[in-house]
């Protein structure tokens, strides 16, 4: 079984923080949708949407980087015998 190295652990922690921020912003946005359309409420909604977009963009960048790194790393053929390092 493969262990998670520190870089992968940091990436997972970063992803978890982003997902938590998205859940939080989404819940607050749902709560604000019940509020009246005052300028302050609209500004809060815009800020929460901006936060959602930032977190989603960050996740997308991290996933693209991770996939790019995996694509450049050769993987053993299926069924091939791997030598221990």
Q: What is the pLDDT of residues 12-42, one digit of tens each?
A: 888 889 899 889 988 888 877 766 788 888 8
What's the predicted TM-score (pTM) here? 0.61
Q: What is the 3-state secondary structure (H, E, C) of the chain?
A: CCCCCHHHHHHHHHHHHHHHHHHHHHHHHHHHHCCCCCHHHHHHHHHHHHHHHHHHHHHHHHHHHHHHHHHHCCCCCCCCCCCCC
pLDDT tens per residue across span 49-59? 999 999 999 98
């Amino acid at each position: 079984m493969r262990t998670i190295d520190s870089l992968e652990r940091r990436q997972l922690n970063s992803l978890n923080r982003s997902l938590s921020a998205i859940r939080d912003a989404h819940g607050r946005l749902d709560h604000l949708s019940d509020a009246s359309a005052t300028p302050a409420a609209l500004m809060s909604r815009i800020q929460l949407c901006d936060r959602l977009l930032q977190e989603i963009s960050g996740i997308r960048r991290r996933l693209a980087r991770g996939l790019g790194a995996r694509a450049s790393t050769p993987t053993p053929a299926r069924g091939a015998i791997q030598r221990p390092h």
